[in-house]
């Protein structure tokens, strides 16, 4: 669920930034950082859930994959934004 929120939030921020011609401003930047921390939180929760016994592994794995991919993508965007 957290991974889906991060993905949809990223899409919304990308559209908002595109509408403004890439000049989204401080609000979009702060929202992107909050999405990064939300993705990190979701990744940690999924990892902790995966360590439990007698669970369905489908949902924690989906959380790890979706949150992990978004963390990597957001980190790449932030690194590219520094240059």
Alpha-carbon distance of 44 to 58, in angstroms, equals 16
Alpha helices in 23-57 (DSSP H): 26-50
Element (H, E) at 10: helix 2-19
Residue 7: pLDDT band with limits 50, 70, 90 = very high
Indicate the pTM of the whole model: 0.85
The burial class, CB within 10 Å (0-12 / 13-18 / 19+), for 35 is buried
Share of residues in the chain with pLDDT > 70 (%) = 100
The helix/strand/coil state of 33 is helix
The mean of the pLDDT values for the chain is 91
């Amino acid at each position: 669920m957290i991974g889906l929120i991060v993905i949809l939030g990223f899409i919304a921020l990308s559209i908002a930034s595109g509408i403004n011609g890439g000049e989204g401003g401080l609000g979009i930047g702060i929202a992107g950082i909050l999405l990064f921390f939300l993705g990190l939180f979701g990744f940690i929760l999924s990892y902790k859930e995966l360590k439990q016994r007698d669970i369905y592994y489908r949902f924690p794995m989906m959380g790890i994959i979706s949150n992990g991919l978004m963390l990597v993508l957001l980190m790449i965007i932030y690194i590219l934004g520094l240059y």
